[in-house]
Structure 1
């Protein structure tokens, strides 16, 4: 039988570390088992704010046959004419699922492709804060992001 002096020092350290760690784990488990049960603290309930999805106003202002605001305002806002903007919307809608009209988990109709593209283009053009788009476009901050 080998004596303690015959064991490799690194192996001896490993064995001592293993023994100490096992003893400490057992002590912590026993300590936890003998503690009285703590009452569960209820988590606060957070209600989501629902942003009304009024895509008709944006469409009527800029993209209807006879827009309420007019072609010159569309040019000033986006630096492009309506046909080009609508081609961009169509291309994004065809290529990316995100830009399509869909229902959300509750069955409500989501944001229109025009709303999503308008938010993306305005954010790229003006570089403003994300929440500046929610008032007019009626899009929540997470959707704009």
Structure 2
């Protein structure tokens, strides 16, 4: 059996190539460029976030305006009406008259979006329905006393 010693300038293993190995760099660069292009395309095609734009008092309730249709979850809890929207917005509060009596409303942030509470001195019942108006989404909340 022959050893690995050098005999007459011949060796059993090839000599190392002194040139740098560029293939891993090329693959790494292509991967980085691909990720960056994918992120840019994703940013351009992402829809605008849903936002609460304004709240208007109506004779028998409120009109809540959004830039697009939100998911709405509403309940009547012990005489108060509470609506949860999966939107972004700022905390607000206000009041309006329903049959000559005060009704207070408050929008506050929660971990699942914005929470709109409607509260009066007497129990309230509410109905809500939404429709697209002038490119925006309008949710009309109609209230009535018990």
Q: Tell me if both proteins adopt one fold, taking TM over 0.5 as the criterion.
A: no
Q: Which has the higher strand share?
A: 2
Q: Which has the higher helix share?
A: 1
Give the greater-gyration-radius structure (CA): 2
Q: TM-score of the superposition, structure 1-length normalised? A: 0.27
Q: TM-score of the superposition, structure 2-length normalised? A: 0.26
